[in-house]
Structure 1
Amino acid sequence: MTVFDRYRTLLHKLALVRARAPGGESPEVDALLDTMDEVWDAMSAGERAAMERERERLPHALAPNAHALPA
């Protein structure tokens, strides 16, 4: 699995976790966000740009909060 694919998987998992427990943070969300930060740091600039475009296409209901994702 590439770093890009790993981040994509984590992004979708985060959306699912947040859908199960809307309205608040949880230890599971915190752990996912920490892992996502590490994976984001390992991505190339091109992979980050591609992921930003992909996140923009996510339905609003599935997209995690913007402040929770690395910029």
Structure 2
Amino acid sequence: MTVYDRYRTLLHKLALVRARAPGGDSPEADALLDTMDEVWDALSDGERAAMERERDRLALSVDTRAVPA
């Protein structure tokens, strides 16, 4: 697994954890964020730029699903 893929996997896990416990931090989310910080440092500048777009897209899709119809 590449560093980029590892970060992307962690990002998706974080979205799932936050969806289960909206509005509050959890030990699981804190642990994921700590790991994500370490992996982020290993990404290249290009990978970071691509991941920022992925984070924005994922945040939008999570927010869209959270809005009541």
Query: Same fold judged by TM-score > 0.5?
Result: yes
CA distance 1:26–1:59, change in 2 (3 Å):
closer
In the superposition, relative to structure 1, how do residues 59 and 35 fare at CA in structure 2: closer, same or farther (>3 Å)? closer
Q: Which runs of 5+ in 2 are unaligned?
A: 64-69
Aligned positions of 1:1-71 closer than 5 A: 1-62=1-62
Deviation at 1:56, TM superposition (A): 2.1
| Cα distance in structure 1, aligned partners of 2:27 and 2:15 | 15
Percent identical? 83
Distance 1:11 1:19 in 2: 12
Using the TM superposition, give the Cα deviation of residue 59 of structure 1 relative to its aligned residue in structure 2, in angstroms: 4.9
Q: Distance in 1 between matches of 2:30 and 2:8?
A: 17
Q: Name the residue aligned to 1:69.
A: none
Please report the TM-score for the alignment, with normalisation by the length of structure 2.
0.82
Give aligned pairs, total: 63
Give the CA deviation at 1:57: 2.0
Per-residue deviation, 1:61: 4.8
Moved over 3 A (4+): none
Structure 1: segments with no counterpart, 5+ residues:
64-71
- Alpha carbons 1:3, 1:42 under 8 Å: kept: yes
RMSD: 1.5
Instruction: Give the TM-score of the pair, scaled to structure 1.
Output: 0.80
